[in-house]
Amino acid sequence: MSRVEQITASPEGTQDLAKDFASGLRRGDVVALSGDLGSGKTTFVQGLAEGLGVKGNVVSPTFKLVNEFSGKVPLYHIDFYRIQSTREILVIGLEHYLFGDGVTVIEWADLYPDIIPKGTIRVCFEVISQNERWIVVDREGDR
Ligand code: ADP
Ligand code: MG
């Protein structure tokens, strides 16, 4: 396990952190985001997308379960928040994304922990104050 912790002081700070983080990602990586509503998960994905060279507006997938973006590496943005059951997730063919050729990032990943593959990079968000977020990145193995 390796852990990196950082406090950001603005949404832009969180996006910059995510941009840096994106440079260390490879095809097939899965990134699980957890933390309360408004803790910065979607903001982080916006920076991640920028870092992966993705063009397009990153907002939480609300009506669809997955938003797909093409960049240097494809980005699959998933949000478990409105999901009612594991079955609903499997029906969309989640494995196609998780074991595919892009980077998969999942908001509210901890709502369905059984679905998250081994080796997933975990990023946890905590609100410290109005503009401060505590962001913890945990990786398995020596990456
Ligand atoms: P989530 O996806 O976790 O619900 P969002 O990224 O959609 O959270 O929203 C985070 C909110 O908090 C935004 O309104 C953003 O402007 C605000 N914010 C304030 N400070 C920060 C920070 N340091 N990092 C990320 N977001 C921040
Ligand atoms: Mg969100």
Tokens linked to 133: 């977020």
Which pLDDT tens digit goes with each residue over 70-85? 988 999 999 999 888 9
Token pair 């397009």: residue: 56
Protein residue with its CA nearest to atom 20 in ligand 1: 131
Tokens linked to 67: 């938003």
Residue 117 has pLDDT above 70, yes or no: yes
Q: Would you say the C-alpha torsion 67, 84, 109, 101 has a positive or negative sign?
A: negative
Q: Would you say the C-alpha torsion 84, 106, 120, 97 has a positive or negative sign?
A: positive
Ligand 1 mutation target, pool 41, 43, 57, 59, most atoms within 8 A of CB: 43
User: Ligand 1 within 6 A of 2 CB?
Assistant: no
Indicate the helix (H) or strand (E) that contains 36: none
| Residues contacting residue 51 through CB under 8 Å, at least 6 positions apart | 18, 19, 20, 21, 22, 23
Which pLDDT tens digit goes with each residue over 91-116? 888 999 999 999 999 999 999 999 99
Ligand 1 atom at shortest distance from the alpha carbon of 43: 6
Greatest mean pLDDT among 53-62, 77-86, 129-138 lies in: 129-138
Taking residues 119-142, report their average pLDDT. Answer: 95
Residue 128 has pLDDT above 80, yes or no: yes
Quick check: 46 and 18 in contact, CB under 8 A?
yes
User: Ligand 1 within 6 A of 11 CB?
Assistant: yes
Task: Tell me how far the alpha carbon of residue 89 lies from the centroid of ligand 2, in angstroms.
Answer: 17
Task: Tell me how far the alpha carbon of residue 43 lies from the centroid of ligand 1, in angstroms.
Answer: 6
